Amino acid sequence: MKSFDEYVELANQAHGHICAGQILGLRLAIHGCSLLGIEDPTGKDRKRLVTFVEIDRCATDAITVVTGCRMGKRALKFRDYGKVAATFCDLSTGRSVRVVAKESSKQKAREMYPEIDNKNQQQMKAYRELPESELFDHQWVKVTVEPHDLPGFKGPRVTCTQCGEGINFQREVLRNGQPFCRACAGDSYYQPL
């Protein structure tokens, strides 16, 4: 693992600024990797880790800095639960741990640094110093990462019966034995104009 200040600099480069969410995300990912015994997530241990994040905010960018897990490498999975939480899955041992930021950490920051008016500055300072037990809860969980969801999976590509677009990683929906993409099957986030 790198030093915390090295992670802060990398997070600044990746995210464009440092904020309380970045500090919290760095600490959360370091804690998750530590609980699993993963010492070098971006180096020798890089193929052991798949991470599920539950929010699309600053903390997620920081988590990727520590873990090296990226969507494009299929090692970062997003579940839109709106929570500052992540589940770290060690593929070599089958162990997984979910780490969630405690709501009480904001109040702890106010109590530690009442003289700092700027909430972000107050939280950044406190989140660097608070012990993990006051920042996070963790729970050992079972996560089944299907073979077609693993990094490096190479599977068949099928064509949607309706729109003709290609579908990877067994994401098609079968209707009467015919493959449809999720959008044509009715699960679309966009509407054609």
Per-residue pLDDT for the chain (193 aa), expressed as one digit of tens each?
A: 899 999 999 999 999 999 999 999 999 999 999 999 999 999 999 899 999 999 999 999 999 999 999 999 999 999 999 999 999 999 999 999 999 999 999 999 999 999 999 999 999 999 999 999 999 999 999 999 988 888 888 888 999 999 999 999 889 999 999 999 999 999 999 988 9
Domain identity same for 171 and 114: no
Same domain, 173 and 81: no
46/57 Cα distance (integer angstroms): 23
State the Cα–Cα distance between residues 56 and 193, nearest whole angstrom: 27
The pTM of this model reads 0.90
Per DSSP, 59 falls in state H
Q: What are the φ and ψ backbone dihedral angles of 8, each rounded to 5 degrees?
A: -60, -45
Residues 81 and 169 in one domain: no
Residues 24 and 58 in one domain: yes
Domain that holds residue 187: 155-193
Handedness of CA 111, 113, 114, 120 (dihedral sign): negative
* Single-letter amino acid, residue 88: F
3-class DSSP assignment, residue 61: helix
Domain count, the chain: 2
As given in the structure block, the two tokens for residue 25 are 């995300």
